């Protein structure tokens, strides 16, 4: 039961740390993220390296719902956050998001 000013301070601190993103200009809707997209990307890429899967292509479904990732923290990750994580890896030239016949996928480098 925080006053509105206190709530705004908390939300602004989360935004500064990269764990909150405003979804509208009026700052009435927001997305709170447990981990920033870059952190998810790092976890995914560590899994790729650990399993020798560089130069491999995966569907987005395989990454978050496949048997191979069942014990990984990113298993079950929301597709929106997965795409943001992969975009972060793409900016680092560690991955490329690609379009496949039945959807999207990613190739790791």
Distance CA(18)–CA(94), nearest Å, equals 21
Pairing of strands 30-32, 57-59: unpaired
CB 83 within 8 A of CB 95: no
How confident is the model at residue 21, as a pLDDT? 93
How confident is the model at residue 63, as a pLDDT? 95
CB 11 within 8 A of CB 19: no
How confident is the model at residue 43, as a pLDDT? 98
Q: State the DSSP string of 8-58.
A: HHHHHHHHHTTSEEESSTTS--EEE-SS-HHHHHHHHHHHHHHTT-TT-EE
How confident is the model at residue 101, as a pLDDT? 83
How is the chain split into domains, by residue range? Answer: 1-34, 37-108
Distance CA(31)–CA(74), nearest Å, equals 18
Per-residue pLDDT of the chain (109 residues; tens, 9 = 90+): 899 999 999 999 999 999 999 999 999 999 999 999 999 999 999 999 999 999 999 999 999 999 999 999 999 999 999 999 999 999 999 999 999 887 899 999 9
Q: Out of 3.90.1720.10, 3.40.50.300, 1.20.210.10, 1.10.10.10, select the CATH number for domain 37-108.
A: 1.10.10.10
């Amino acid at each position: 039961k925080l006053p509105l000013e206190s709530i705004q301070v908390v939300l602004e601190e989360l935004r500064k740390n990269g764990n909150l993103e405003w979804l509208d200009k009026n700052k009435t809707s927001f997305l709170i993220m447990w981990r920033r997209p870059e952190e998810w990307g790092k976890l995914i890429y560590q899994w790729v390296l650990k399993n020798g899967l560089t130069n491999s292509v995966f569907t987005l479904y395989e990454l978050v719902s496949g048997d191979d990732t069942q014990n990984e923290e990113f298993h079950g990750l929301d597709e929106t956050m997965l795409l943001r994580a992969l975009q972060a890896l793409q900016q680092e030239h560690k991955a490329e998001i690609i379009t496949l016949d039945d959807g999207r996928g990613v190739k790791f480098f």
